[in-house]
Structure 1
Amino acid sequence: MQSIPIFSLLTTILSLSPKISGFMGISVGVGVGVGVGVGVWIPGNAPSPASTDNVEYIALQSFKSSIADDPNATLSSWSGPNICSYKGIFCSDPPEPLPSASLVVAVIDLNRANLAGTLTPDLSLLSHLSALHLNSNRFSGSIPLSLSNLQYLSELDLSNNLFSGPFPSSTLQIPNLIYLDLRFNSFSGQIPDELFQNPNLDAIFLNNNQFQGEIPFTLWSSSASAITLANNQLTGSIPASFGYSGPGLKEILLMNNKLTGCIPEGVGYVTGMQVLDLSFNSLTGHLPDSISCLAGIEVLNIAHNKLSGDLPEVVCDLRNLLNLTVSYNFFSGVSNDCTRLLFRNVGFDLAGNCIPGRDLQRPAPECDGTSAGGLSCLRVPGMRPAGCGGAGGDGMSGLPYFFRVSVP
């Protein structure tokens, strides 16, 4: 099929489209992670078929032209003017009156289609697109800057592809983005501070890339409920302000990086946390007392670090625990309350520590107090919660007073 040169030629056409504002999502029965579906017409008032001069038709043909390999012939139906019948395309009534009665492309769902190619900048011409699902394909290259023009886009799933380069800055400019999934690619470089300052993002999945550098200090400002930065090459310590993001954060996964330093006291202020995984890093020192404030925690994994001291009794008393993994650290003591976890059907693994009388512990030479590195952590005075009231029971927003500084 002959490639259609379009992006530079359609700037004028795109500028004639109505200004987009306020449209958030559609209802087409498409969930995250579903397979490729056949496009359907959403009932409207007898819409006329799309014509071949329609800007959305041209955008989809540009997308098709950018595909180098389609082994399952997924895009074989992408011909003719009726774009809403294309496989993987879902249409909806437009959110605002348009000159014609045509439906608009609202969702592209080509998950697991095994397509190889690049993303054309002309995707930005699909000005009413609400969800773009392209996981488990072989797309490569970078993410077009023009995607920042998709003012209605709320879900972007590009996971399990071959994308590379720095963090895609275009995703920071998509105004209504709620779900961002870049897992299992080859992105590298630093994670930008701005990512955690987007008030709309509720899910941020960056695991299994090659991101480097420190976790941005702005992590505290994120309003997301789930953040996954696991399986990268992040270094430095967990930001000292961690835990001041408010009650919305339910799950954070930082395992298998190169993090060092102590677990900050502020972790206990995220009182709504349900899953916290800090395993396979090089964290040192004692667990902060504020861990006892994680009343809703269900899964706590701090295995394969260099933590030391006694495993606090208050950790094992957390009533919602389903799994507590502290294996392969340098803990030297454990309370009887922790032993009783087994009777509560709580998964509990403390192998590979330095606890006398326990099975599967480290050899004595490894427990001489040096292998674990620094054994104490500097705790900022006033950070320890009084009866878990330091965060008002619902987390704490903004920076604590000792982080507030004046900048000339």
Structure 2
Amino acid sequence: MLVAAVIELLVLWAVLGRAALPGSQTQSLLRLQKLLGDPSALGGWSANTSFCSLPPSPMLNVSCAYADQSGTQTVILLQIVGDKLPITVRLPDDFSIITLANTLVKFPDLRTLTLVSLGIWGLVPASLDHLRSLELLNLSSNFLSGSIPDRFASLGSLQSLALDNNILRGTFPTALNVLPNLDTLQLSHNQIAGTIPSQISLFASLKTLDMDHNLLFGALPDSISNMRVAETISISDNFLAGVVPNLSRVASLRTLNLAGNQLGPSFPGLGQGLVSANLERNRFSDSIPDSLRGLSQLKLLNLSLNSIPGALPGWIFSLQSLETLVLDHNRLSGTLPSAVTLASGLRYVDISTNLLMGEVPAELRSGRITLHVEENCFSGQEIQLQQQQPQEYCLKAQRMIPRRWKGGVVAGIAGGVMAVGAAMALLLVILLRFSKRGKLKLKHAAATCANNSCADTASVGVPVELLHSTRYLAQSGTVGATGPNQCRVFSLLELEEATSRFSQGLLIGEGEYGKVFRGKLDDGTLVAIKCLVIDSRQEMKQLKAHLEFLSRIRHRHLVSLFGYCLEREKDGPQHRRLYLVSEFIDNGTLRSHLFKRKLKESLTWQNRLVAALGAGRGIHYLHTGVVPGIFNNDVRITNILLDHNFVGKVSDFGLARHPESESYHFHSFLLSHSFFSFFLSRKLATDKRDVYNFGLTLLEIVLGRPPTVDNPMAMKPKVQELVSSSSSVFRTEMVDSAISGTCSEDSLSTVLEIAAKCLSSDLTARPSMEDVLWNLQYAVQVQDQRFSGEYLEDSSGRE
């Protein structure tokens, strides 16, 4: 019996021994836990943890395999996902990306490595090329910078590389085309610049290419049509221009997303297997081609915000698999067929903001689908609830034909490509300058960082084409992203020295809730110092995290926050005094420039539009360019500052006053335990509040005076009357006399129309900031064209 028990124990010991990790890998996992700041997913790890037996979860997964006949195991899969907090915080300044890489290479048999949303920062470590068995590498949603190392080309087993949502620069990673098994390349939401190389076709196994939201420019190479196994090509929100190559030869292509570029004017050939095609926000100006009839598997077609002219063919509603059709904001004209056949799966159609007339076919009005037809010239009682223009509006608009449509197409395209090329070349120079500054920032202290950041956000040398481009906003927000020590915690003594003990001679603004002083830091940096009273019951740790988050935001249309100082109030134990130290903008507020009539210095209509467009881009970036989006901003005309080039910048973002208090509260989701429910519902309310307030700003730049203070909604009927009125006398009475007679009818009407929509009492009827920006961009363009003569109006249409 004793012998049998001993044998059983020996067998058990042998089995347990075979399941053990080498000591070096156990120590490496524990070191990894420390390097990553002990994220909650790794809570409870110790030397006694049986790592290979940990139950997998979405946040953590460790898998092992036997290394050899010795019975020891080795880690082959390591997945760690950071805490899903409202704010993604970068790891501390003493974090070392080199130490992290040296720790990871201790797992030589690793096949899958996923480190997501952990705050990792630094250059992408080239030494990861030692992991020769690696099949999947996912380092997305961190703060990695630099370029993708060419040494990754030695990872012969690599199948998937995901580095999206970082701050990568450099150019397209052409060197990786030698990887025989690479089928997924996800690099979206970075700062990768340059052109897409012709060697793209050498990625023989690539099925998914995701380069959304980068700084790519130039034309798509013809060789992209030779990516014979590609299933998804997504390169939206870049600066691509020119004709799209014929993609009908890519028979495997299922998803195509080229939205938010400058592509056109002709439609690309599309393969019959395509399921989703998103070409919105480009420059396509050909009529809808008959070749789309053959796309029997197409479920989504989005061609909105282009310049597509001509009739809307009835067959487009009956494409066999179609579910969603989006054609709004084009130049579609004429009437729809009296009867149309709808695809069985069609559920959503948007043909709003075109030049369509006549009646809407009964099949579209049946209620079976969600239909948007507003801002056309349709007639009939059935569509009275959706705002329509008079028929004369569409007839006149059709006569307003761009010169390039009447002739000189080749010359126009060539000129456009040259102009875009020049602008992109200049942009690249700017980016290279930022890149050099970014490296310096990693070596300097906080004050120097703040000073450099101020320089980076100055509006010097930015091409007009980019100032007028809504696609520039998201990318420009991350240019000049800063290194460590970005958020400086000032002492009250430092601020007193910077402002000569808050001298009244340095007071530059005073409102109901605080004062603003001009100051000079000890390194010579000019700053604006705002003093606020906050509720001391707020969680200070979360408040400080929020301020650090705000200080990392860099966008040319947002006033940069350099740091803060917190002091207790002597007379109010429930309150604290918060000093915010921000970039100093030297040209005052937008409102102050509307009232300089005595000096004949009031802003021109063009300058007002550009200032509003800049501020709108800043607000849009807060909504969509950071995660999570920042809403409920204190959007008002006195918080829109102008730099020396009259470029608009939004100040005091991320800060909201409590409606029943004289103190300030920071975003409610910082204080809420139900963040995710808040996140899901916020777009129904909070962003629309910013849109409403921005509408008031648009109204004021037209009127030259503040709207009714007690009840801004009371101005809406006047705005709508301004939009629809053909009486020049009425408009003269309402529009600011400083701009009356200098702004084009089309430009003024566009601004008034979008302002009226912003002021809608129905939250769901208010436009998004994206829509507002496109309308403002159009207003700028038609104002320019009034004087440049780019548009010709048919003489028969003149009044």
TM-score, reference length from structure 2? 0.36
Please name the residue that 1:202 is paired with.
231
* Equivalent position to 1:367, from 375, 394, 401: 394
Cα distance in 1 for residues equivalent to 2:249 and 2:399: 32
Residue identity opposite 1:221 in structure 2: R
Verify the 8 A CA contact 2:110 2:134 in the aligned structure 1.
Answer: no
Please name the residue that 1:306 is paired with.
331
> CA separation of 1:36/1:222 partners in 2, compared to 1, >3 Å: closer, same or farther?
farther
Shift of 1:266: 1.2
Please name the residue that 1:79 is paired with.
102
Shift of 1:142: 0.9
Whether 1:162 and 2:191 are equivalent positions in the alignment is yes
Whether 1:317 and 2:333 are equivalent positions in the alignment is no
* Secondary structure, aligned partner of 1:215: coil
* Equivalent position to 1:295, from 309, 312, 320: 320
Cα distance in 2 for residues equivalent to 1:37 and 1:152: 26
The 10-residue stretch of structure 1 (291-300 or 106-115) with the greater mean CA deviation from structure 2: 291-300
Residue identity opposite 2:392 in structure 1: P
Whether 1:339 and 2:365 are equivalent positions in the alignment is yes
Shift of 1:325: 0.5
Percent identity between the two aligned chains: 25
Larger Rg: 2
Shift of 1:336: 1.5
Cα distance in 2 for residues equivalent to 1:45 and 1:372: 78
* Equivalent position to 1:116, from 135, 145, 155: 145
Whether 1:267 and 2:295 are equivalent positions in the alignment is no
* Secondary structure, aligned partner of 1:172: helix
C-alpha distance after superposition, 1:316-360 (max 9, x if no partner): 6222111000001111121122110x2x2x211000111123430
Whether 1:279 and 2:307 are equivalent positions in the alignment is no
C-alpha distance after superposition, 1:140-175 (max 9, x if no partner): 011333211111111110111110000144443111
Greater RCO, CA 8 A, separation 6+: 1
Shift of 1:365: 3.5
Cα distance in 1 for residues equivalent to 2:135 and 2:186: 15
* Secondary structure, aligned partner of 1:371: helix
> CA separation of 1:256/1:336 partners in 2, compared to 1, >3 Å: closer, same or farther?
same
Cα distance in 2 for residues equivalent to 1:153 and 1:39: 23
Aligned residue pairs, count: 305
Shift of 1:297: 0.3
> CA separation of 1:178/1:280 partners in 2, compared to 1, >3 Å: closer, same or farther?
same
Please name the residue that 1:187 is paired with.
216
> CA separation of 1:206/1:315 partners in 2, compared to 1, >3 Å: closer, same or farther?
farther
TM-score, reference length from structure 1? 0.67
Cα distance in 2 for residues equivalent to 1:199 and 1:284: 32
C-alpha distance after superposition, 1:57-114 (max 9, x if no partner): xxxxxxxxxxxxx747594532244235889727xxxxxxxxxxx9711111101022
Shift of 1:119: 1.2
Shift of 1:369: 5.3
* Equivalent position to 1:150, from 135, 154, 179: 179
Residue identity opposite 1:278 in structure 2: L
Shift of 1:295: 1.5
Shift of 1:263: 0.4
Shift of 1:271: 1.1
RMSD, aligned α-carbons: 3.1
Shift of 1:366: 1.5
Whether 1:141 and 2:166 are equivalent positions in the alignment is no
Verify the 8 A CA contact 1:269 1:293 in the aligned structure 2.
Answer: no
* Secondary structure, aligned partner of 1:111: coil
User: Where is the helix percentage greater, Structure 1 or Structure 2?
Assistant: 2
Whether 1:220 and 2:220 are equivalent positions in the alignment is no
Cα distance in 2 for residues equivalent to 1:311 and 1:253: 23
Cα distance in 2 for residues equivalent to 1:279 and 1:154: 31
Cα distance in 2 for residues equivalent to 1:167 and 1:220: 19
Verify the 8 A CA contact 2:211 2:234 in the aligned structure 1.
Answer: yes
Cα distance in 2 for residues equivalent to 1:261 and 1:373: 16
Matches within 5 A, 1:11-30: none
Verify the 8 A CA contact 1:236 1:260 in the aligned structure 2.
Answer: yes
Matches within 5 A, 1:32-47: 40-41=63-64, 45=68
Verify the 8 A CA contact 1:284 1:373 in the aligned structure 2.
Answer: no
Residue identity opposite 1:261 in structure 2: D
Whether 1:351 and 2:379 are equivalent positions in the alignment is no
* Equivalent position to 1:172, from 198, 201, 223: 201
* Secondary structure, aligned partner of 1:79: helix
> CA separation of 1:49/1:43 partners in 2, compared to 1, >3 Å: closer, same or farther?
closer
Cα distance in 2 for residues equivalent to 1:74 and 1:86: 21
* Secondary structure, aligned partner of 2:274: coil
> CA separation of 1:293/1:348 partners in 2, compared to 1, >3 Å: closer, same or farther?
closer
Please name the residue that 2:113 is paired with.
89
Please name the residue that 2:280 is paired with.
255
> CA separation of 1:293/1:321 partners in 2, compared to 1, >3 Å: closer, same or farther?
closer
Verify the 8 A CA contact 2:225 2:247 in the aligned structure 1.
Answer: yes
Cα distance in 2 for residues equivalent to 1:37 and 1:315: 53
Shift of 1:309: 2.0
Cα distance in 2 for residues equivalent to 1:35 and 1:277: 33
Residue identity opposite 1:79 in structure 2: N
Verify the 8 A CA contact 2:194 2:217 in the aligned structure 1.
Answer: yes
Q: Unmatched 5+ residue regions in structure 2?
A: 1-56, 75-89, 115-130, 402-799
Cα distance in 1 for residues equivalent to 2:242 and 2:303: 17
Cα distance in 2 for residues equivalent to 1:370 and 1:236: 20
Cα distance in 2 for residues equivalent to 1:132 and 1:139: 14
C-alpha distance after superposition, 1:259-308 (max 9, x if no partner): 10200011111011000000000001112344254121000011110111
Cα distance in 2 for residues equivalent to 1:200 and 1:233: 26
